[in-house]
Each structure stands twice: as structure tokens, then as C-alpha cells.
Amino acid sequence: MKSSKTTLSLTVNGSPVTDEVEPRLLLSDFLRHQLGLTGTHVGCEQGVCGACTVLIDGEPARSCLTFACQAEDTAVETVEGLASEGGLNVLQRSFQENHGLQCGFCTPGFLMAATALLNRNDDPSDDEIREELSGNICRCTGYENIVRSVRAAAEQIREPRRTQAR
Ligand code: FES
Ligand code: FES
């Protein structure tokens, strides 16, 4: 029987990837099962919880509602791409220091949604943080510490820029 697979080419966390995929394969399953990037979590599988959030060309997207083949020629970023040289980045450290996570299941989705926010606005108000993260569900933290974590990360991102401007 002729294979129904198609060739998918994209970049994932800055590295070029080419692989064969079934047309109906979800991006979340492609990342987790074909690339082994299991940091992208799958909760509701129907676009409600935000756990599967990744960035596609810089914009947050539900990978459980996206076919892998829709990511052709895009740049996909997952939570694995945040840390560099084996160390957590500013946002990840801030979640750790401000108790922005408990069970951690929701955390990759929050980190990616917050990354998109901080990439375009390094001085968000609490309302803007809450608005940006309103598509992500956490059942452990009550959100206060998540908002605090994003706010603290924004302050740390701004500080070196201020110093450079002096
Ligand atoms: S698993 Fe995708 S939104 Fe819940
Ligand atoms: S830390 Fe457990 S669901 Fe958010």
C-alpha cells in the first residue's frame, strides 16, 4: 500500500528538522513522539488547558490543535529551547525562585505563553500578564505566583537594558 506520509521541513528550537509525517499527525504528537521533545505537555487535547502551548514563528499556538504539516517552513520553539548551555533562562529561574510551579504539568505552556509576551513587551502590567496567560490553566498555584514570576522576570530582563542605556 502506498504510504500517505508527507515530508515535513521546519526548524525546531533553531535546528533544521526534516521528517516524514502522516497528514493527520498533531504537532504535539510530532514533537513528543517523533522528536522526543516531551517537555510539551498534553492535557485536555481540545484547546482548553494551554499545556501544549509552543511558539510558531514567535506566536503562541496550541500544538494539540495544529497538524504537524501546518508547521511546514515555520520556526517552532518548545520549552526545551529556553534553557541555554545547560542553564535555566531568566524566566525559568524566576518561576523556580517565585514558586510559580507546583506539580509543573502546566508549566511548559505558561513558560511559552509568557515568553511570547516578554518578547514583545518587557514591561507588562499585571493585567497584561493575566490577559496573556488567560488561556492557560493551572490547578495548583492560584496564579498569583505565576504572575509574580513573570513580573520578576520582566524586571530582570529590563535591568541590563537600563544599565546599557546609562
Ligand atoms: S492539551 Fe492542548 S490546549 Fe490542552
Ligand atoms: S503547577 Fe500544577 S497545574 Fe500548574
Site to probe by mutation for ligand 2, drawn from 107, 112, 144 as the one with most ligand atoms within 8 Å of Cβ, is 107
Can you give the pTM of this predicted structure? 0.94
124-155 confidence digits (pLDDT tens): 999 999 999 999 999 999 999 999 999 999 99
pLDDT of residue 166: 62
Tens-digit pLDDT profile for residues 57-85: 999 999 999 999 999 999 999 999 999 87
List phi, psi (to 5°) of 3: -70, 140
Which pLDDT does position 10 carry in this prediction? 98
Q: What is the pLDDT of residue 3?
A: 75
Using DSSP, state whether 77 is helix, strand or coil. strand
Residue 1 has what pLDDT? Answer: 63
Q: Which helix (H) or strand (E) holds 112?
A: helix 107-120
Banded model confidence at residue 159, pLDDT cuts 50, 70, 90: confident
Average pLDDT over residues 46-55: 98
Answer whether 53's CB lies under 8 Å from 34's CB: no
Note the ligand closest to the C-alpha atom of 49.
Answer: 1
- Candidate of 52, 107, 133 to mutate for ligand 1, largest count of ligand atoms within 8 Å of Cβ: 52
Strand-pair category, 53-56 with 75-77:
antiparallel
Residue 49: CB within 6 Å of ligand 1? yes
Backbone angles phi, psi at 15, to 5 degrees: -105, 135
Is any atom of ligand 2 closer than 6 Å to the C-beta of 143?
no
The CB of 61 under 6 Å from ligand 2? The reply is no
Torsion of CA 110, 113, 118, 123, to 10 degrees: -70
Cell of 70: 501546518
Compute the mean pLDDT over every residue in the chain, rounded to the nearest whole number. 95
Binding site membership of 137 for ligand 1 (Cβ less than 6 Å): no
How much is the pLDDT for 165? 67
Q: How far is the CA of 44 from the centre of ligand 1 (A)?
A: 5
43 Cβ closer than 6 Å to some ligand 1 atom: yes
The percent of residues above 90 in pLDDT, for the chain, comes to: 92
